[in-house]
Amino acid sequence: MKTLPILFTGFFLIYCLTYFHCSLAQTSSTNKIKWPDDKQVAISLSFDDARPSQVDVGIPLLDKYDVQATFYLVPSAVERRLSKWRKATATGHEMGNHSVNHPCSGNFTWARHKAIESYSLSQMRKELVQASKEIETLLGVKPTEFAYPCGQTFVGRGEHTQSYVPLIAELFNTGRGWLNEAPNDPGFCDMAQLMGMPMDELDFSNVKDIIETARQNQQWIVFAGHDIGETGRQTTQVSMLEQLLRYAQDPSNGIWLAPVGTVATYIKEQRSN
Ligand SMILES: [Zn+2]
């Protein structure tokens, strides 16, 4: 009968040690980062592919509110509206890299001839460096931010699959995903795998819900969109965007609205302090 209290004491000690170890692990991997000027939530607006509607419709609207966004560019698409993209660069919008050929899984029939299942890491590196060079030649700025085409982060297939996240970490300040379900925790997030939440086809009530949820944990929402217009597939609605800009610029809402690179650099500085 004497073994019972000893057993209990043993279990209790193991429980305490495990609990202490877990708490310690949590605190060491998560730093609480405060946003500047007592803001409660950070938002970055980003748009992919250098689609013409971004410079035709979106940038004039953003400029009206003096808000800078992040644009992930495919150089050949920039050439279709070169003077407008140059003007947008001069206005302070951030120009990121979205690859030369927009390679994605060959399950998309349009991507079969540039399927990431057939890519190697060295080819990916070569094309990413090429995209940055072409963007710098066209716009005079060297991209420091990247968005994964189709949000996919691998090359190859099966046993030969390799992540290209380490390559993005080496070449860029940040790498943004697509179709992710949550905002980023500034104390924890991996800059090479930022979560990108879709804003296409949403109305403002949906977007406001996302903002208010993120506010509770002082998170960073990186919204991602494609076309900018009235309606349609992969289109960020002008009416939603205008309501979002007004909401974010009302000081009583405590929102820090800034390009991806600006927020990422701020977080890195806070982490190193
Ligand atoms: Zn894309």
218 assigned to some structural domain: yes
CA of 48 to the centre of ligand 1 (A): 5
Q: Of all helices (H) and strands (E), which one includes residue 228?
A: strand 227-229
101 assigned to some structural domain: yes
Per-residue pLDDT of the chain (273 residues; tens, 9 = 90+): 455 555 555 554 444 444 444 344 444 456 789 999 999 999 999 999 999 999 999 999 999 999 999 999 999 999 999 999 999 999 999 999 999 999 999 999 999 999 999 999 999 999 999 999 999 999 999 999 999 999 999 999 999 999 999 999 999 999 999 999 999 999 999 999 999 999 999 999 999 999 999 999 999 999 999 999 999 999 999 999 999 999 999 999 999 999 999 999 999 999 998
How many angstroms separate the CA atoms of 164 and 273, rounded?
A: 29
Domain residues for the domain of 160 are: 55-272
Helix axes 82-90, 121-139, angle to 10 degrees: 80
131 assigned to some structural domain: yes
Residue 153, pLDDT score? 98
Compute the residue count for the chain.
Answer: 273
Cβ atoms of residues 234 and 51 within 8 Å: no
188 assigned to some structural domain: yes
How many angstroms separate the CA atoms of 151 and 87, rounded?
A: 28
CA of 27 to the centre of ligand 1 (A): 36
88 assigned to some structural domain: yes
153 assigned to some structural domain: yes
Residue 8, pLDDT score? 53
Residue 89, pLDDT score? 98
String of DSSP letters for 208-245: HHHHHHHHHTT-EEEEEE-EEESSSTTEEEHHHHHHHH
40 assigned to some structural domain: no
CA of 98 to the centre of ligand 1 (A): 7
Residue 273, pLDDT score? 86
Within 13 Å and on the Cβ side, how many CA atoms surround 224?
Answer: 25
CA of 47 to the centre of ligand 1 (A): 9
Amino acid in position 75: P
CA of 105 to the centre of ligand 1 (A): 12
The closest of 94, 45, 77 to 202, measured between CA atoms, is 45
CA of 151 to the centre of ligand 1 (A): 8
Cβ atoms of residues 241 and 228 within 8 Å: yes
DSSP character at residue 57: I
CA of 50 to the centre of ligand 1 (A): 9
4 assigned to some structural domain: no
CA of 77 to the centre of ligand 1 (A): 11
Question: How many folded domains does the chain comprise?
Answer: 1
CA of 97 to the centre of ligand 1 (A): 10
CA of 193 to the centre of ligand 1 (A): 16
CA of 233 to the centre of ligand 1 (A): 14
CATH number at residue 225: 3.20.20.370
CA of 106 to the centre of ligand 1 (A): 14
Token pair in block for residue 193: 């795998």
Cα distance from N-terminal residue to C-terminal residue, the chain: 56
CA of 198 to the centre of ligand 1 (A): 12
